[in-house]
Structure 1
Amino acid sequence: MHFAYPPRKNSNPPPFRPRSTRIPTFRRFLRPKTIAVAGLAILFIIWLFSGSSSKHSPQRTISGKPPVVIVTVFDEKTWGGSPEYLESIKDNREQYASKHGYGTLLVSAGGYELNGAPASWSKVTATRHAMAKFPDCKYIWFLDQHSYIMNPDIKVEDFVMGSKKLEANMIKDLPVVPPDSIIKTFSHLKGDDVDLVLTQDKDGISAGSFIIRNGEWAKFFLDTWLDPLYRSYNFQKAETHALEHIVQWHPTVLSKLAILPQRLFNSYNKPKHGRVFEAGDLAVRFAGCTKGAGENNCVDEAKRFSSQWRKAFAYA
């Protein structure tokens, strides 16, 4: 008896084609609950990128009143405690500020908590203090206590910080830390881009006289400079060497920096450290002066220029 063989299956069956799910998926998308969730998500995105941002206050406009604030920090440990010396410095700042409608912040180094860092760091905290006290000022000029403003006719905002003046005076493609730093000042910087001006002397960057444009960048810069890591690091020249480090290795700072000729606002009393003061210069600093009664002491160096600035201011 013969049985019929079942039909042989094709050895090359057609490829498997999964059942299409497009229509069911689309139908699920059209469910009311799904539509509501998607709508809420879209509304949230719109709110996130438009509605919420409109509630954020735009960057505050600085009125420029006063145009400049002069900051000087007094440290009795470095000037020998002469009341006459102290008063002459204060009087110098106040007369100059009064003539041009500037503000002043004349403070004691002991008024700031530096957590064990050298008192010279107080220049940074005082400058930050000035920004808080004079939020609408346009520029802040930190000027070391061992110095006099000598030319009462010069306005900082025009003579030093004016856009055209900056472009004419900034030293481009200059090693930031002389003589051979591979990091150099920008060659394409415009005057309106400058937020910080410094000078160099024979030892490098001078932190005894600097000018900064008030604003968000200034806050960032000062907070960076005042970072606890820099204050705790054993730099030989404390905040000055910290500043040299920052301007070399932080492009965000270097891109806003201009180095100007020293005599514009940071002349020295003697040639040992840098460019010497000449009649007509804005300011003179008694670089390297010492306390006490020894040679090159600060009080005696100041006396060389005291009558000059008083005479200049009397006829201004």
Structure 2
Amino acid sequence: MPSGALPPKKASPYVANVNRNKARQMSPRSVVLGALGVIGTLWMLFRLFGSSSTPKSAPKSVPGMGGSAYAKTVIVTVLDEKADADGPIADFVKQNRIDYAKKHGYATFFPSANNYTIKHGSSSWAKVPALRHAMTLFPEATYFFNLDPHTLIMNPTLSIETHILAKQRLESLMVTDVPIVPPDSVIKTFAGLKGDRVDFVITQDREGLSEKSFIIRNGDWAHFFLDAWFDPLYRTYNFQRAERHALEHIVQWHGTILAKLALVPQNIMNSYHEKQATAANDNGIYKPGDFIVNFGDCNQKAKGRNCENEMRPYYARSVQADL
């Protein structure tokens, strides 16, 4: 066909559209909006995954919660009104912890055992959910110090960091290669454990681990450990000493727990009152200057004991030591 017979070329409408799209993409408005979008995305990612030294808002205050919500150490004592119904010990037990906490910048938490529904087992199990509860109220805390209501802090000058938890100090204290349950348990405490790898610090008496006084480091491992300890299987197993024997069981059968445990001498944080002498280790009887005195089962009237009568004179001494 002669070239003059070809129809004239027409500009493609798609080219114009592409050009218009390019112009639209390069407009100042688009650049600004795109930049804002990138900044917004980065901000969202930072908020979701970035770390922060403080939570977005302070935890809500609940009964029994004292001290700064951002304290790095929290003392937890579960009060059992039923067990101590005849002895008004709660007031001076709480004051003992509060005075000590103020001195060192710690916080306190005094939940009631009645706050927790223990479907299986005695109220003594309440310390375990109470610690989980404390971790939700003080999410920024590093350490939680469980103290039984039948114990008193006798040397308030000692901080738990310098007295126990500092890496070199803890490594010098750790009792290694000894049976978890004396005298002949085949499972023994680890040797060579580094202080900064420890998440659980506890003492031992002649019978085994003493759960009346222990320190746990906040974190995923602590959540796992407390959940494992509180498992319904153990609460329904009818251990003779309830949560104490359950603790010994999981420490011996779960290497992931034993590998985080540091055993320290009894007089470091759990000295026994003289009426508990038969259960105490050689270094475990309270003497002046010790950090803690533990009165054990002082609420057993059948054995002629009375918590208020035994504890109040020691509380008076602890107040004098704080002056």
The TM-score, its normalising length taken from structure 2, stands at 0.76
Asked whether the equivalents of residues 96 and 315 of structure 2 are also in contact (C-alpha less than 8 Å), the reply is: no
Pick aligned residue for 2:84 from 79, 84, 88: 79
Asked whether the equivalents of residues 62 and 137 of structure 1 are also in contact (C-alpha less than 8 Å), the reply is: no
Please tell me whether residue 90 in structure 1 is matched to residue 94 in structure 2. Answer: yes
Pick aligned residue for 1:153 from 157, 165, 168: 157
Distance 1:91 1:180 in 2: 41
Matched residue SS, 2:315 = helix
Q: Which amino acid is the alignment partner of residue 146 of structure 1?
A: H
Distance 1:170 1:78 in 2: 34
Change (3 A) 1:128 1:91: same
Paired positions, count: 260
1:35 match? none
Structure 2: unaligned runs, 5 residues or longer: 1-44, 55-68
Matched residue SS, 1:78 = coil
Distance 2:251 2:52 in 1: 27
Matched residue SS, 1:125 = helix
Pick aligned residue for 2:311 from 298, 302, 309: 302
Distance 2:311 2:258 in 1: 34
1:105 match? 109
Q: Which amino acid is the alignment partner of residue 104 of structure 1?
A: T
Change (3 A) 1:90 1:306: same
Asked whether the equivalents of residues 291 and 299 of structure 1 are also in contact (C-alpha less than 8 Å), the reply is: no
Shift in Å, 1:288:
2.8
- Show CA shifts across 1:13-38 (max 9, x none): xxxxxxxxxxxxxxxxxxxxxxxxxx
Q: Which amino acid is the alignment partner of residue 74 of structure 1?
A: L
Matched residue SS, 1:284 = strand
Pick aligned residue for 1:69 from 65, 70, 74: 74
Q: Which amino acid is the alignment partner of residue 160 of structure 2?
A: V
Change (3 A) 1:58 1:169: farther
1:279 match? 288
2:120 match? 116
Asked whether the equivalents of residues 87 and 307 of structure 2 are also in contact (C-alpha less than 8 Å), the reply is: no
Distance 1:55 1:144 in 2: 41
Change (3 A) 1:191 1:81: same
Shift in Å, 1:59:
9.2
Distance 1:172 1:214 in 2: 23
Asked whether the equivalents of residues 67 and 157 of structure 1 are also in contact (C-alpha less than 8 Å), the reply is: no
Shift in Å, 1:136:
0.6
Asked whether the equivalents of residues 150 and 297 of structure 2 are also in contact (C-alpha less than 8 Å), the reply is: no
- Show CA shifts across 1:204-243 (max 9, x none): 1101011001111111110111111111111111110000
Change (3 A) 1:199 1:88: same
1:235 match? 239
Structure 1: unaligned runs, 5 residues or longer: 1-53
Asked whether the equivalents of residues 195 and 257 of structure 1 are also in contact (C-alpha less than 8 Å), the reply is: yes
Shift in Å, 1:185:
0.7
Matched residue SS, 1:73 = coil
Shift in Å, 1:291:
4.3
Pick aligned residue for 1:126 from 124, 130, 144: 130
Distance 1:238 1:118 in 2: 7
Distance 2:271 2:53 in 1: 30
Change (3 A) 1:70 1:173: same
Distance 1:266 1:284 in 2: 6
Calculate percent identity across the aligned residue pairs: 47
2:267 match? 263
1:312 match? 321
2:173 match? 169
Shift in Å, 1:72:
0.4
Asked whether the equivalents of residues 62 and 138 of structure 1 are also in contact (C-alpha less than 8 Å), the reply is: no
Matched residue SS, 1:141 = strand
Change (3 A) 1:57 1:272: farther
Matched residue SS, 2:310 = helix
Q: Which amino acid is the alignment partner of residue 222 of structure 1?
A: L
1:208 match? 212
Pick aligned residue for 1:188 from 175, 186, 192: 192
Distance 2:224 2:82 in 1: 30
- Show CA shifts across 1:162-212 (max 9, x none): 111110000111111111110111111110110001100122110101100
Change (3 A) 1:216 1:301: same
Q: Which amino acid is the alignment partner of residue 88 of structure 1?
A: F
Matched residue SS, 1:92 = helix
RMSD: 2.1
